[in-house]
Amino acid sequence: MGGFAAFLFLTVVTICAGHSVGMHRLLIHRSFKAARPLEYLLVWLGVLVGMAGPFGMIRAHDMRDWHQRQRRCPPHPSHGAGPLRDAWWQLHCGYRLDHPALREIEPEVLSDPVYRWMERTWWAQQLPLALGLYAMGGWSWVLWGGSLRVVVSLTGHWAIGHAAHRGGEQTWRIDGLPVQGYNLPGFGALTFGENWHGNHHAFPHSARLGLGRGQADPGFRLIQALARLGLVHDIRLPDSAPPRPGLRHLG
């Protein structure tokens, strides 16, 4: 029972505060600002999800987004293959280009010694956590809170990403692009707001992903709570930047 509780607690903390808020909305999209110690903590929790280090996450995200903004997009960054093949590609293969068209990582991030340390050791960050879990509950806690958590987190991340590019509720459309984002109603609490991918395609700068009535977005609620404590500021919303070219509301 204790191992399962550790699995639930660490999954919520690392996916919500770490991946969704720290890695995605803060480090990659800069949709709000936080004091550097808090930023380090949130991004480090994102590293514990087990996908990549901070630089690897930025580059993988930018590679996919750049392709999806082109008139033609290969099946890997568009999630255009069937579920089994796409799962194999996304979870077990690398996608490398001879001449990648990626934006440069901000110098203050690229040269930051803490981020450089996280990038060098991201795979080893699980070891101190595993030792702590072992000390509290033995091998069962390590398997639940370590191994199983990483497997479920990575598989769930792929599944939502695949589904959100294949179909679902579409409130917004970017005319002229072959790859669209879709909302997946009913998964807001489970994904901490990352299921509102159609909204995210429409307003990638926005810290708020759940824009419509009843669209649960726990990640944004956490950002709001941190703002009330004075820990974050300059929160960007859909109207904080000009609309994307071709953006159209479908009603």
Task: Give me the pLDDT at residue 1, please.
Answer: 83
Strands 232-233 and 33-34: antiparallel
Mean pLDDT across 98-116: 87
Band of the pLDDT at 10, cuts 50, 70, 90?
very high
What residues does each domain of the chain span?
A: 2-93+101-249
Pull the structure tokens for residue 50. Answer: 């087990």
Nearest to 155, CA basis, from 91, 209, 215, 112: 91
Show the beta-strand stretches assigned E in the chain: 33-34, 172-174, 232-233, 247-249
pLDDT above 80: residue 101: no
Reported as a single tens digit per residue, the pLDDT across 38-56 is 999 999 999 999 999 999 9
Task: Give me the pLDDT at residue 104, please.
Answer: 80
Distance CA(165)–CA(182), nearest Å, equals 6
Backbone phi, psi, residue 195, to 5°:
-75, -15
Reported as a single tens digit per residue, the pLDDT across 191-219 is 999 999 999 999 999 999 999 999 999 99
Band of the pLDDT at 102, cuts 50, 70, 90?
low
Beta-bridge partners for 172: 249
Element (H or E) spanning 31, and its range? none
DSSP 196: B
Mean pLDDT across 70-99: 91
